[in-house]
Amino acid sequence: MNYLDYQVAQVPTGWRKIFHLNWPLVFLITAVSCIGFLMLYSVSGGNIEQWAAPQMKRFAVGVVLMIALAFVPIWFWRSISVAAYAICVLLLVLVDLIGDVGMGAQRWLVVGPIRIQPSELTKVAFVMTLAAYYDWLPVEKVSRPLWVLIPVVLILLPTALVVMQPDLGTSIMLIAGGGIVMFVAGVSLWYFAGVIAIAVAGVTAVMKSRGTSWQLLRDYQFRRIDTFLDPGLDPLGAGYNIAQAQIALGSGGWSGRGFMQGTQSRLNFLPEKHTDFIFTSLAEEFGFVGAGSLLVLYVLILGFCLHSALTNRDRFASLMTIGIAGTFFLYFSINMATVMGMLPAKGSPLPLVSYGGTSLMILLMAFGIVQSAHVHRPRG
Amino acid sequence: MRKSQREIVESSRVITRRGLMLATIQAAVVTVLGLKLRSMQIEHADEYRLLSDGNSIKIRLLPPARGLILDRNGMIIAGNEQNYRVTLTREEAGDVSAVIARLRRIIPMSDRQAAEILAEIRRRSAVTPVMVTDRLSWPEFSSIALNAPALPGVTPESGLSRSYPRRGDFAHVLGYVGPVSDYDLSKIDNPDPVLMLPEFQLGKVGMEAKLEQVLRGKAGARRVEVNSAGREMRELSRQEGQQGATVQTTLDAGLQNFVAQRLGEESAAAVVIDVTNGDIAAISSSPVFDPNKFVRGISGPDYRALMEHDHRPLADKTVQGAYPPGSTFKMVALLAGLESGVINTGTRFFCPGYITVAGRRFHCWSRGGHGTVDVIKSLAESCDIYYYELAQRVGIDRIAAMARRMGIGVHHDLPMSAITEGIAPDRAWKMARYQQEWQIGDSINASIGQGYVLASPLQLAVMAARVATGRAVAPRLVRAIDGIQEPEPDFPDLGLNPLNLRAARMGMDAVMNSSRGTARRMRITAPEWRLAGKTGTSQVRNITAAERARGVIKNEQLPWNRRDHALFVCFAPFDAPRYAVSVVVEHGGGGSAVAAPIARDIMLFALAGGLPPLSAYPDGERAKVQEMWSRMDLMPSAAPKTERAKA
């Protein structure tokens, strides 16, 4: 849709836009973030300076940014999406070449005092690009092979760069995030069925080849896959963290052990308790009530996003909102499934709760664009 | 490019349909997550709670305070003292060598010690506290506590350690404690877990070892929360241990102190028994050593000095030493003769200085002979010929039986280490031991406590007590455990003819108090404490016929370890016996000259309950005694502790 399509006269202007923000979404985001501050305070053992205070500062900046972005007309975002995509790909190439090594992978780009994680930025930028692409593409062409190939290339290019970092988790997120946009845009289900079938067949072939004359991987690679799939096979290595996380989670019971009373987190049995495993601390200290509440808050955020998307007649805005919400969904469901032992451990933060600057800021900025879509939706 | 209204509607329809499909999938995923959460947190919460507690809660043992050992008056002779020590944990210290350098400004430490500690810390895990030093003085300890901020990882701790305030006085009877060794553990089937504590002390020898179970007490426990590195975070609950039982002994600290000093540096042993109840009032072996050194971990040179000392300070001669009793055995031979009816109290033998039996000459110590000797004179002048004659008529088996009745050659059950049975030899014993027939010469030697006969100082004291009372006095060391009195013993009568016993006692009285008694100079002149005793001088070498012809070499001319043992047994007061005392001085020379004065002084101290009035001594002895007292450094008399009675 072109900005001329909007009934511009009916779109709020100036400071009045503040009344048209998706306020329930703002409150939900704030609520989840507050749970995060509480847990960061708790797992630091009551040391607010360690994690909670920096996180709060970033949140404050992030919220201001979110509202500022919400004031920017949605057509602006659509116009820059291709440029943003190009910049992101450029940054990813830079990261592969000169990036800082952290946690055994190159993820950071340091520019003066600023440390950027381009893969985080990419998640938002390429969702916008895909949304813009489908906004531009006539609906009847969506499922034609050539028009399907273009977004696939758009997805695979940054994915390949992220894999080289190597960051398998983020690359899977990119594929899944892009897949969600394509799915909602109306790409024929047969393509999805085909991709899934090929993936299943490929994995099956590799696994079946084990022990036969045409074995596709070496033995030690299979063993690595085994422990990846079942950490229990390596109880003192990767399995230890997951086992301790499950103990923490389960021992929370109905109402938990009480604020700052979680022995698993306070006594350092939990790994990465302020980042990837913060959900276990919450579940341990506030039990099913606390953990379930967080899940409900997440679902409500999804719900408000979906509602905003489905009531928005702007195709770009709808697709982008659903894409960002879908990425958000992938974040928290993968994190929760991991700490509950349903997925193999792979570093992924709990959105809005885990300690971490870039991911929180990017997420809040992404919600800023979602807000912008909401504020500037076509009316009348 | 404007989009047609139709296209907008169409695209909205697609997005709505697909959006709802996506929402359905997401809802399904969220439902699965919620169900999994429910299953873990509600259905299996108890299992996880158990695992969680098991992770973080550990039981730590609290070593119990060891039971006290008291003397008969309630004075502590083995107690516990605060031991201030300092440990260092690498994980918390960071730069260990810097911390140790700072620590060295507070407590003295040689370069070598510091290097050893550093090596030990590097060797152990980062979270294990390593002991840097112990037995700190209070000022050092408090100074470390004060400087804690500058000493990260340094923990001042205080614990209890055994201490023996009377130092050497009770070294042998009480023994000592020490760290638990692997060897100790290997001897115990099911070791108490408290033994595994690094600072735990176990009774090694003596009463400390024999009464270990009584003294140890019960370990307490602390439930502590630990972190994943095993470091203690806080204490959840604490159950104090139960201190070991207090053992009140029969020993008298004041008397024991006097005995130890009286024996001095001689290689000697003395035992004091209360004949009325068998209580051992003092039991001392000399030279003594300081058991506190063993508790602290004795240094190599100190230990070597003790091991290489020819007076064997580590041996407890009172119960472990077995000596030929010499003439102190004559009461046994005499009673064997009298009781068997072979002789009676009027029997006399003639002593010409020697007799020839089976072609061999047996000499009396008096070369000129004693002439006609009766029962009393045989003891008073210690005539050997009388007992040679007696032994030939009575036979060894009856002498050995009497010896066992009098407590020689039998085990006396005391909480002390390696108690010897001694030897009361008879025909069967020699056959079993040497596969040889008993010879008449063996009987003759045995009759005067030589040859195969061996007795410990404890057994000699028991013998004296049994002669004094006619009852089967059994020695005991423990009077009460945790305030519960041991039953007062009621010793059975030995079943000896009172007239025979009286003869033996009168003979012992004559040793001290008759004009020709062998120990007349050592008599007690105070009539209420009249002493009866018997000297003994036992050879530790054979005197050949050739040497006898040349003249027996005087003891003073022999090397120390070839000289005779000096022995003395006695009881007093003669009319109503209270104490029996035995003294053995290894290679001391003559019993009357060396052992008897020691026994007399001990007896007087026991009877008087302190230093006796000089008037108890014969005139000729007083100056010497006074001079001896002035050289002693006696402990202040232990007055009965009234505050204990109040409590």
Question: Nearest-CA residue of chain B relative to A256?
Answer: B41
Structure tokens at B617: 């001594």
User: How high is the pLDDT of residue B466?
Assistant: 96
Per-residue CA distances from A275 to A55, A121, B526, B617 (Å): 12, 19, 94, 93
Tokens 């009377």 — which residue? B166
Question: Based on the number of CB atoms within 10 Å of its own CB, is B215 exposed (0-12), middle (13-18) or buried (19 or more)?
Answer: buried
Mean pLDDT of B63-89: 89
Q: Which spans in B326-434 are helix H?
A: 330-340, 375-380, 384-394, 396-405, 427-434
Tokens at residue B544, please?
Answer: 């050949």
How far is CA A315 from each of CA A75, A175, A266, B289, rounded to the nearest angstrom? 11, 21, 48, 100
Q: How far apart are CA A295 and CA B31, in angstroms?
A: 10
Q: Do the domain assignments include residue B307?
A: no
- pLDDT band of residue A5 (cuts 50, 70, 90) is low
* Residue B635 or residue B479, greater confidence: B479
Give the residue from B224, B249, B274 where a domain finishes. Answer: B249
Enumerate the residues of chain A whose CB falls inside 8 A of the CB of residue B20: 310
Domain assignment present for residue B503? The answer is yes
Q: Strand A100-102 to strand B154-163: parallel, antiparallel, or no bridges (unpaired)?
A: unpaired
Do B226 and B338 belong together in one domain?
A: no
Report angle CA A155, A305, A157 to the nearest 5 degrees: 5
Q: In which band, very low, low, confident or very high, does the pLDDT at A71 lie, cut at 50, 70 and 90? A: very high
CB within 8 Å: B56 and A186: no
ipTM for the complex shown: 0.91
B482 touches chain A (CB under 8 A): no
- Per-residue b/e over A280-310, b at no fewer than 16 CB within 10 Å? bbbbbbbbbebbbebbebbbbbbbbbbbbbb
Q: Which of A263, A281, A332, A335 to mutate to test the interface with B (most CBs of B within 10 A)?
A: A263
What pLDDT shows up at residue A371?
94
Domain termination residue (choose one: B249, B279, B308): B249
Q: What angle do CA B106, B110, B116 make, to 5 degrees?
A: 105
CATH assignment at residue B455? 3.40.710.10
pLDDT of residue A14: 79
Q: How far apart are CA B206 and CA B414, in angstroms?
A: 10
**Within 13 Å of residue B340, how many CA atoms lie on the same side as its CB?**
20
- Is residue A6 very low, low, confident or very high in pLDDT (cuts 50, 70, 90)? low
Q: Is the distance from CB of B616 to CB of B524 less than 8 angstroms?
A: yes
Pairwise CA distance, residues B173 & B192, whole Å: 25
pLDDT of B144 strictly over 70: yes
Identify which of B411, B403, B494 has the alpha carbon closest to the alpha carbon of residue B449.
B403
- Sort out which chain B residues have CB atoms less than 8 A from A342's CB and list them: 32, 36
Query: Which domain covers residue B115, as residue numbers?
Result: 60-92+102-249
Identify from A2, A3, A134, A139 which residue to disrupt to test chain B contact, counting B C-beta atoms within 10 A and taking the largest count. A139
Q: Encode pLDDT of B79-127 as tens digits.
A: 998 888 888 877 777 788 888 888 888 888 888 888 888 887 887 767 6
Q: Identify whether residues B236 and B385 lie together within a single domain.
A: no
Distance CA B178, CA B70 (A): 20
Say if residue A89's pLDDT is above 50.
Answer: yes
Inter-chain contact B48–A287, Cβ cutoff 8 Å? no
Which residues of chain B does A263 touch, with a Cβ-Cβ cutoff of 8 Å? 52-53, 55-56, 225
Distance from the B47 Cα atom to the nearest Cα atom in chain A, whole angstroms: 8
Say if residue B435 is in the same domain as residue B568: yes
Residues of chain A above pLDDT 90, percent: 43
d(CA A333, CA A338): 8
Last residue of one domain, picked from the residues B220, B249, B278: B249
Q: Which residues pair with B269 in a beta bridge?
A: B285, B584
For B283, the token pair is: 């039991």
Interface residue B12 vs chain A (CB under 8 A): yes
CA distance B323 to B539: 10
Query: For residue range A245-304, what is the model confidence (pLDDT) as tens digits?
Result: 888 888 888 888 888 887 777 777 777 788 888 999 999 999 999 999 999 999 999 999
CA distance A288 to chain B (A): 6
| Most A CBs within 10 Å, among B3, B4, B40, B42, to test the A interface | B40
pLDDT digits (tens, 9 = 90+) for B337-367: 999 999 999 999 999 999 999 888 999 988 8
Chain segment B534-550, per-residue pLDDT in tens: 999 988 877 777 777 77
Distance CA A155, CA A165 (A): 16
pLDDT reading at B192 higher than 80: no
Tell which residue, A147, A168, A128, A164, has the closest CA to residue A366: A128
**Alpha carbon B45 to chain centroid, angstroms:** 57
Least confident of A52-56, A153-157, B37-41, B222-226: B222-226
Q: What is the CATH number of the domain that holds B181?
A: 3.90.1310.10
If one counts every other C-beta atom within 10 angstroms of the C-beta of residue A313, the result is: 18
Residue B196, pLDDT above cutoff 80: no
Domain assignment present for B271: no
pLDDT of A114 reads 67
pLDDT 10s digits, B289-314: 999 988 877 888 888 988 898 889 99
pLDDT in the model for residue A275? 83
pLDDT of residue B396: 94
CA distance B358 to B398: 21
Q: What pLDDT score does B554 carry?
A: 79
Q: How far apart are CA A133 and CA A119, in angstroms?
A: 20
CA distance B225 to chain A (A): 8
In chain A, whose CA is at the least distance from the CA of B227? Answer: A267
Q: Structure tokens of B416?
A: 């002390």
Reference A185, options A122, A126, A143; nearest CA is A143
C-alpha distances in Å from residue A377, one per residue of A164, A370, A380: 39, 10, 10
pLDDT in tens, B214-272: 999 888 888 777 776 666 777 777 888 889 999 999 999 999 999 999 998 889 999 99
pLDDT at B645: 35
> CB distance B34–A292 less than 8 Å?
yes
Residue A131, min C-alpha distance to chain B (Å): 12
Distances (CA, A) of B430 to A175, A362, B327, B404: 102, 103, 22, 16
Give the model's pLDDT for residue B145: 81
* Cβ contact A269–B55 (<8 Å): yes
| CA-closest candidate to residue A186, choices A126, A150, A140, A129 | A140
* Structural element, H or E, at residue B123: helix B111-123
Question: Are B330 and B448 a contacting pair, CB within 8 Å?
Answer: yes
**Is B363 within 8 Å of B444 (Cβ atoms)?**
no
Residue A215: name the closest of A207, A203, A223, A227 by CA. A207
CB-CB neighbors (< 8 A) of B233 in chain A: 266-267
- pLDDT score at B647: 32
pLDDT at position A106 over 60? no
Q: Give DSSP secondary structure letters for B225-270.
A: EE-TTS-EEEEEEEE--BPPPPEEES--HHHHHHHHHHHTTSSEEE
Please count the structural domains in chain B: 2
B42 touches chain A (CB under 8 A): yes
> CA torsion A286→A291→A293→A295, rounded to 10°?
170
Helices (H), A9-117: 23-43, 52-71, 74-98
Q: Which two tokens stand for residue B200?
A: 């735990």
Spell out which residues of chain B touch residue A337, defining contact as CB-CB under 8 Å. Answer: 33, 36
Q: Answer with the residue of higher pLDDT: B510 or B229.
A: B510
Q: Report the C-alpha gap between B262 and B413 in whole angstroms.
A: 27
A and B: number of Cβ contacts within 8 A: 151
pLDDT (0 to 100) of residue A117:
80
Domain boundaries, chain A: 81-352
Which pair of structure tokens corresponds to residue A330?
A: 């992938």
Confidence at residue B230, expressed as pLDDT on a 0 to 100 scale: 63
> Residue B137: inside a domain, yes or no?
yes
A64 or A48, which is more confident: A64
